[in-house]
Amino acid sequence: MEVAAESKKPAKPASSGGPGALQRGSGRWSLLWAIGMLAIFVGERMIGSGSSRTVATAAGLVMVIGAMAARFVRAGGAAPDRRKLEQTLLILYAVGLGAVLMYVAQSDLWATAFKQPLERNWPKLSTMLGALWPVAWVAAAWPILLVELAYAEIARAPRLELGRIRSAKLSGLGLAAAMTAAFSFSYVASERDKKVDLAYFKTTRPGEVTRRIVRNLDQQIEVAVFFPSSNEVRDQVDDYLSDLAKESSQLKITHFDYDIDPVKAKDYNVTTNGILVFVRGAKKEQLGLSKEIEGAKAGLKILDKEVQQRLLSIVKPPRSIGFTLGHGERTWERGETDTDKRTGIAMLRDGLIDQTYTVRSVNPADGLMNEVPKDITTLAIIGPRTGFAPEESASINRFIDRGGRLLIALDPENNVDMHEVLGPLNLIYKAEPLANEVAYARRMEQKVSDRANLVTSTFSSHPSVQTLARIGPRASVVLPGAGWIDTKKDRTAAIPVDSPIKAHFATFVDKNNNFTFDEGEQKRQWELAATAIKKDARVFVIADSDWIDDEAIKVPGNSVLALDAIRWLMGDEAFSGQTSTEADVKITHTRKQDVVWFYSTIFLAPAVVIGAGVFVTRKSRGKRRKEKDGKGGKPSAPTPSAPATPDAPGGAA
């Protein structure tokens, strides 16, 4: 008898249809939202202008709104528990879109639509929106990411764990709050300017200027070093001086110990160890350092600057720079009037004093109406707000005729063009504000008006900018709010003129002051500075005075330009260059470098950390799932039944 064995077929899984099937692929809409936001970000913050910006921003906005519409449709057709999830994500999408709208209100898009920036009429509102929009965006982005990750783990469950979704949302809001607090703390800390010195110690090396001074010596200079023979500070000083002495045989180094050589100490007017004496004929200059290395570290970091000052004091004749007053000029103390809130030029004054120049003020009471004082070598006119009287202009012209040196820095907003002085020199100052949508220096608030902060590294071979031309883009010059300088078409060769500094090629004259390139405005490399030589006289004119104030002069390129321009006016261009220092300085970047560092630290680094965490977590879960399946998680194959035995031979079943 044959018995047919029953085959046991495994049961099919239950269908996953119904409302839950609608929720598959939730992450794709959040990804679309994120790509849209990225497109808006690229258009507004990286491209910044032109048709490419419009395309990127519009495309991003369409994707964001499309993602929101998809969420709205999904919420309408979802089960009650999943509807709450969809509504949560829809609200977070809307918060992100609100952040974009806040950005638009305080950006140049508002200025384009309403013909003037929001900050002009509502500066406080503009500042508030500028601070709020990144907070709102982060408060949307982090919860969206964590909610999607949480939902991906329970998407196939018959009923969602809403508590898990809520915890993910709150975790995202917590991360957003932590980021906001961190950025706020960083901003407050930078504004309070409290610093802790954790820098390494290194003695400076002889700088370019100091080497040139020694190289051009025409008379022997002795440097008498008073230190004990076994002293760590003396070793550092000797390394510096031996390196400097290689430049010229005119530099002689001698060593003494105050306790052993009291007679020599008396000859050099030294009363203790730790003194360097620079001697040239009857002239003597002293430099004091601590005998202990810990106390001497600060002085050794700026040793080149101190040595340079002593050498200049005994090598160069005394010369004076006079800064005019009485016309609303910038001063090193305060504004000449209560309404003048501009930053002063105290750091410029201190830098000139370090170069052994005598600095003083010159006003009509000092005889400026009749003659520039005889002791003035260079006359500086920095940012006047009112014009000069005809008698004063005539006095300045006579000063030039007798070989005087003149530095002029003018601002377009003051409408002072000094044509009485510049005209005879074949120069014309144009009080037309310039702006640039590509190359500009951004302030902390990052307003559209920052486009007036011109940045340039385009220099000629003129001696007044020879250091900047050699360094190149690493020492760009920043001019916050500049006009430009033209030359007369009918100028003669008797007064040669040069344009040592030119603007970035994308710079334009901002005729309507909206900081945006409009039809009818011209882009080119505008002349930002000019020089003129009239027999023995030298004149340096620059189309801005803000570049030299106490804030802007901290930019390395600006400080180099200030000193090299003065050196050229004084005839000291042989001493142009940079002073070596190991003192800590503020790190600065170009706009392009700043963009790379900002995006890398804000987005790339966190993305790498999060991505690594997701990869490790998923890999670990996959490994545990495989181990579970190997221990009996999969159903075993059915055992075939044994054949039936007949009851009797030949019997039939």
Q: Show me where the domains of the chain are located.
A: 21-191, 208-314, 319-432+482-502+526-571, 589-621
Of 633, 653, 628, 631, the closest CA to residue 643 belongs to 653
Q: What is the pLDDT of residues 165-185, one digit of tens each?
A: 888 889 989 998 998 888 888
Summarize pLDDT for 468-494 with one digit per residue, the tens. Answer: 988 877 789 999 999 999 998 888 888
The pLDDT value given to residue 498? 94
Q: State the Cα–Cα distance between residues 591 and 440, nearest whole angstrom.
A: 7
Nearest residue to 329 (alpha-carbon basis) of 379, 279, 294: 379
CA angle in degrees (0–180, nearest 5) for 547-552-555: 110
pLDDT tens digit sequence for 205-214:
888 889 988 9
Per-residue burial over 261-279, b if 16 or more Cβ lie within 10 Å, else e, is beebbeebebeebbbbbbb
Q: What is the mean pLDDT of residues 436-443?
A: 88
Residues 371 and 395: beta-carbon distance below 8 Å: yes
Neighbour count for residue 109 (Cβ, 10 Å): 18
* Residue 172 structure tokens: 């995202």
pLDDT at 590: 54
Indicate the residue type of 246.
K
The answer to whether residues 118 and 111 touch, using CB atoms and an 8 Å cutoff, is yes
Rounded mean pLDDT, 546-560: 91
The 10s digit of each residue's pLDDT in 54-67 is: 898 899 999 999 99
DSSP state at residue 6: P
Give strand pairing partners of 360.
322
Taking residues 533-550, report their average pLDDT.
Answer: 94
Structure tokens at 310: 């002593």
Q: For residue range 107-130, what is the model confidence (pLDDT) as tens digits? A: 777 777 777 777 777 878 888 888
**Residue 216 in tokens:** 């051009």
16-54: pLDDT as tens digits: 444 444 345 788 899 999 999 999 988 887 887 778 888
CA distance 340 to 330: 9
- Say if CB 345 and CB 409 are below 8 A apart: no
CATH H-level, domain 208-314: superfamily: Glutaredoxin (3.40.30.10)
Residue 114 near residue 102, CB atoms below 8 Å: no
Q: In terms of C-beta distances under 8 Å and separation of at least 24 residues, what long-range contacts does 233-241 make, across chains too?
A: 233/274, 233/289, 233/290, 233/291, 233/292, 233/293, 233/296, 233/300, 236/203, 236/293, 236/296, 236/300, 237/276, 237/289, 237/300, 237/303, 239/203, 240/203, 240/204, 240/205, 240/206, 240/303, 240/304, 240/307
State yes or no: pLDDT of 569 exceeds 70: yes
Which of 332 and 8 is assigned the larger pLDDT?
332
Fold that domain 319-432+482-502+526-571 belongs to in CATH: Rossmann fold (3.40.50)
Q: Please state the φ and ψ torsions of residue 324, each to the nearest 5 degrees.
A: -70, 145
pLDDT per position as a tens digit, 493-502: 889 999 999 9
Residue with tokens 């906005």: 61
Could you tell me the pLDDT band of residue 647, with boundaries at 50, 70 and 90? very low
Strand partners, 173: none
Find, among 316, 251, 307, the residue nearest to 581 by Cα.
Answer: 307
Report pLDDT for 196. Answer: 54
